[in-house]
Structure 1
């Protein structure tokens, strides 16, 4: 290729009648196209960059290695192993042992005494197996998930800390801060796995809802005192009913209220009110006890009077005289008295006076003041 300049100053490229993709001159011996001057070397034909048809090497790279080449490469990896006595390769035997181990590992399962196994066949629930040695089809045809159905799980709701109060409204429009524990376990593992997205969170939300509904049926005094047992029983029954409707596969074991107090802002005032109510109950109990004693005494006197009346009907005069003597004995038994008969005053020994004087003499004499 050479350059020429015409009369107007335009550069003209001369190609000597050859295009950029023409083959080299066979008589050139490589000197024209080989600036290095190394003659005798063959020169490949240039490739047209706009030709959409790839060459043989490009087509081979696009297809990738063939199956025969891959197997030959795998066999080459075990080429360093010694031959078996019969002259065969160890490669098939190794593959067989690997498959046997895979079948045993994925087909035989040990289910613990506190567990149950949920078997899925091709991603779909198939059956539930009990504790012991169980067999399934090898993976990935069947997979087994072990679920601990004997473990008691606990969810704590509310806290004694002031920053995490769990306030609930009672029947008498009062507010209490309640904290409690929910103990639950899994009774149907297949439902537990597939029915709910997050079973523990569902159990917690159901517990909070049922607890609010149960506390709303009790007044403040009952909710913080004698009614706590009834609240726990009602919450347990309500939660089990709702979770059964959800088909959650969960069994509620127990509800335990750890704290049931008024809010911290009114604790002092509430304690004063509670103390006043306790005093009121104490006074009422004393009054009831006194009324019971008086009633029992009156009933006893009535029964005694009925007996005397029966005797009076049988012997009126004798009964009157006996009643008279008993009454006089009760009236005059503790006073000083003098007996006077119709014939005059009868002297008698005043034993009560002697008893009084003797008692006075035996009493200690207390002397006060300083002795001069």
Structure 2
């Protein structure tokens, strides 16, 4: 076999290998959960998000960097390689009223700009972790311990998310924050937890007593308001009745006055008799036409009682 044929065979083999390499590196596939950035001589050209088979120029002209589209979770505050639920020292934070608490959370995030994610930072996830730590410490540091341990967690979560989102937009690494969830906020040891629990129980008892007192106050206020309304209504009724009585008395007086002007003597005598009837009810009045120098005594009613009845006289005669 001649040397020329050997060279030809080797060349054909090399060409075949190159052709296979070109064909192999000119196609790539994407799953539904993936997205890709096409790099041409190391420069980002375009972002591909459609799943399926795609064509590109062979390596080293173009290269594909695949990134996930699904939502990822960042757990802040847990020791790497430690037992489940074991917290790291960085979870110790100081509240705004100078108390120490242990706080950990979970951040839901997603890559929304693959180009920035690949080239704007060496380690975008480390940037996210540091920003999460700074945001949580800042918000906890401006909150009171009561809010951090009880009813203020939702507000703290919202503030942490808002601050973390602004930081990631400032760093511009292609990451978007979807949600922030505080998992645990607790005191550093059992003794402190017991003391805080006692204080919390006392506060709840105080609030219960205050609510009961407020309820009793409202009840008594309502009752007093009802009594006040009843008294006012009664007074208004009496006022109206007295006004009507006064109007009637005025009308009667006016009529009497008219009669008096017409017949003074007769009206005066009639008023005198009516007054005596009102002052001495049931008393028999005898009007004597004399000068009144002698006292008269007429036991007429007594004599009537002592007089025998006609039936009695009839029986006596028999």
Q: Aligned pair in 2 of structure 1 residues 108, 276: CA closer, same or farther (>3 Å)?
A: same
Which residue, 31, 46, 54 being the options, matches 1:134? Answer: 54
Q: Report the equivalent of 1:344.
A: none
Secondary structure of 2:35's aligned partner: strand
> What's 1:102 paired with?
21
- Superposed CA offset, 1:235-290 (max 9, x none): 11111111111111111121111111122141222222222222112211111111
1:104–1:297 Cα change, 3 Å: farther
Question: How far apart are residue 113 of structure 1 and its match?
Answer: 2.3
| Partner residue, 1:22 | none
Whether the 8 Å CA contact 1:210–1:238 is kept in 2: the answer is: yes
1:246 aligned to 2:171?
yes
Instruction: Name the residue aligned to 2:119.
Output: 194
Q: Which residue of 2 aligns with 1:296?
A: 222
Unaligned residue ranges in structure 2 (runs of 5+): 80-84, 245-318
* Structure 1 residue aligned with 2:92: 167
Work out which structure has the larger RCO, using CA pairs closer than 8 Å and 6 or more positions apart in sequence. 2
Counterparts of 2:88 and 2:61, CA distance in 1: 52
- 8 Å contact from structure 2 (residues 73, 106) kept in 1: no
SS in structure 2 at match of 1:315:
helix
Report how far residue 141 of structure 1 moved.
0.4
Match of 1:145 in 2: 65
Q: Deviations over 1:109-136 (max 9, x none)?
A: 2222222210111111112122134322
Q: Spell out the pairing of 1:144-293 with structure 2 (5 A cutoff).
A: 144-158=64-78, 161=86, 164=89, 166-264=91-189, 265-293=191-219
Greater Cα shift, 253-262 or 309-318? 309-318
Q: Distance in 1 between matches of 2:32 and 2:87?
A: 43
Matches within 5 A, 1:347-362: none
Write the distance in 2 (CA, Å) between the matches of 1:161 and 1:272: 26
* Cα pair 2:74 2:107 within 8 Å, conserved: yes
2 CA distance for matches of 1:191 and 1:162?
Answer: 32
| More off after superposition, 259-268 vs 221-230 | 259-268
Secondary structure (helix, strand or coil) at the match of 2:97 reads coil
1:115 aligns with 2:50: no
Equivalent position SS for 2:224: helix
Secondary structure (helix, strand or coil) at the match of 1:137 reads coil
Q: How many equivalent pairs are there?
A: 237
- 1:176 and 1:260 in contact (8 A); partners too: yes
Residues 308-337 of structure 1: CA deviation (Å, up to 9, x unaligned): 23322222499xxxxxxxxxxxxxxxxxxx
> Normalising by the residue count of structure 2, what TM-score does the alignment of the two structures yield?
0.67
Three-state SS of the structure 1 residue aligned to 2:179 is strand
Deviation at 1:163, TM superposition (A): 6.9
- Call closer, same or farther: CA 1:307–1:97 in 2, change over 3 Å: farther
Q: Distance in 1 between matches of 2:7 and 2:224?
A: 112
The Cα offsets for residues 200-244 of structure 1, whole Å up to 9 and x where unpaired, read as 221111111111111122111111111100110111111111111
In 1: Cα distance, 2:187 partner to 2:89 partner: 14
- 2:37, 2:237 → 1: CA distance? 89
Q: Identify unmatched segments of 5+ residues in structure 1.
A: 1-67, 78-90, 319-372
Q: Secondary structure at the match of 2:182?
A: strand
What TM-score results when the alignment is normalised by the length of structure 1?
0.57
Partner of 1:313: 239
Does the 8 A contact of 1:149 with 1:189 survive in 2? no
Superposed CA RMSD: 2.8
**For the Cα contact (< 8 Å) 1:114–1:149, is it kept in 2?**
yes
